[in-house]
A and B are shown apart, each in its own frame.
Chain A
């Protein structure tokens, strides 16, 4: 029974990791853009949530909505006026620029909010749980986060395969040089992709803020989890990313159950195992 509990906790944690990963995967998928500052963007969203709830005293749900809008707008502008300038055949300039952004963000957060560990209180929500049986209880907050992750990925899937914007994003992913000849402006499409990714990052960050303690330096390790979830699931498969997040979460939960110190290590080992067995990820999409 104890192990079932571990599994359930791991799956729920995996939802959060899938949320971390979805934004990263989207930007890489559409424009082959590797965002080293992705983890720090998540932390920025967490601090924005802190400001909304603690400083402005807003209800967490309104806070989430505002953070999503803010991050989405910032994503659009940042892509349009900064990142598009370094986007080219060469994959290195975006890596360098976002690496620099990562350092700038961490230090700005440190300057503004200090190194103290923070947490956004979510009231009764944080401690409430559903009793499944005598020995198994599921926290309401982790469950809500998992459902949010599934919902976000479902919405992304819908946008990609059922809307005109999604069609453009897939076309851009296939061949960005042809899309302008169809009358679409690439810098606008890239900016929309980043706005969408930033909205997902905002949801991930606000969830993180309510679930655990955070400080300005935790971005890079969130980036690592995001990368691992994407690669375990397979590039270009958004449901695969959810599966990747869950596998990572379960591995970490099992590790933690054995010894608290093994949590992170177990996740990395699972990732390594997938790399050895299926280097392209478990659910990699076959390219035509």
Chain B
């Protein structure tokens, strides 16, 4: 059974169609990269999957269950977690407290929860900063905190929104290693990213979205070789190339 299924999902803001009849499914434990031009509707797709926005048409199925009408909190309990393109840490709290917020109403015993959060901080390289206020973190640390906080909700499906954007080459590499280790533990991942080589180091499948539509779907190498992708991505005009 696929972990996530989108059936003809559409989202409109007034006359503007941001997501246009998008359908795809993701198998349990699979990884998927999403690329496409800015304002093409990639982040909106995450809003629709994560439940911060509702679809106008179509259905969202998580592990076979229809979650189209449920809110973000319910989908979090179901196992969907998300990191934002622009990090939104709770700036007034420490890094450790940021993680503890996740699942605060859960039934897990306190010490077990604290141990788990400590492990996640260790895994994401934030343990030395555990007691620092989240507002004092650097960009890389904030991006790692986004990731750590999403992991603290114990997700089955992780949505990463341009988590490598704005990082240096070295920072990007170490983040990719962290994401790989999460993938290897069996967490399904959908990753929106402009830095294609970071993406292709992790994902086994690539989708291209432009003007809210899926215009390509397949293995990364095949998708990147498509003329339509080259046109969008590299700015190569096909007519010009032919001339």
Partner-B contacts on A (CB < 8 A): 164-165, 167-168, 170-171, 173-175, 177-186, 287-288
A178 touches B73 (CB 8 A): no
| B27 CB, min distance to chain A CBs, angstroms | 24
Say if the beta carbon of B105 comes within 8 Å of chain A: yes
B90 to chain A: closest residue by CB:
A174
A288 touches B91 (CB 8 A): yes
User: Which chain B residues border A167 with CB–CB below 8 Å?
Assistant: 93, 97, 100-101, 104
A165 touches B91 (CB 8 A): no
User: Which chain A residues border B133 with CB–CB below 8 Å?
Assistant: 288
B93 touches A174 (CB 8 A): yes
A-B contacts, 5 listed (Cβ < 8 Å): A164-B104, A167-B93, A171-B98, A178-B90, A288-B134
Q: How far is the CA of A165 from the CA of B81 in the complex (A)?
A: 21
Count chain B residues whose beta carbon lies closer than 8 angstroms to a beta carbon of A.
Answer: 32
B136 touches A168 (CB 8 A): no
B92 touches A182 (CB 8 A): no
Say if the beta carbon of B103 comes within 8 Å of chain A: yes
User: Which chain A residues border B136 with CB–CB below 8 Å?
Assistant: 288
Count chain A CB atoms within 10 A of each CB in B51, B52, B105, B149 and give the residue with the most. Answer: B105
User: Which chain A residues border B72 with CB–CB below 8 Å?
Assistant: 180-181
| B180 CB, min distance to chain A CBs, angstroms | 24
B76 touches A181 (CB 8 A): yes
A183-B73, A184-B73 are known contacts. Are A170 and B104 too (CB-CB below 8 A)? no
A167-B97, A288-B133 are known contacts. Are A183 and B92 too (CB-CB below 8 A)? no
B72 to chain A: closest residue by CB:
A180
Q: How far is the CA of A177 from the CA of B86 in the complex (A)?
A: 13
User: Which chain A residues border B52 with CB–CB below 8 Å?
Assistant: 177, 180-181
Say if the beta carbon of B77 comes within 8 Å of chain A: yes
| A234 CB, min distance to chain B CBs, angstroms | 15
Say if the beta carbon of B82 comes within 8 Å of chain A: yes
Q: How far is the CA of A186 from the CA of B76 in the complex (A)?
A: 13
Q: How far is the CA of A186 from the CA of B88 in the complex (A)?
A: 17
Q: How far is the CA of A178 from the CA of B73 in the complex (A)?
A: 10
| A139 CB, min distance to chain B CBs, angstroms | 39
B135 touches A184 (CB 8 A): no
CB-contact partner of A180 in B71, B97, B98, B135, under 8 A: B71
User: Which chain A residues border B76 with CB–CB below 8 Å?
Assistant: 180-183
B110 to chain A: closest residue by CB:
A164
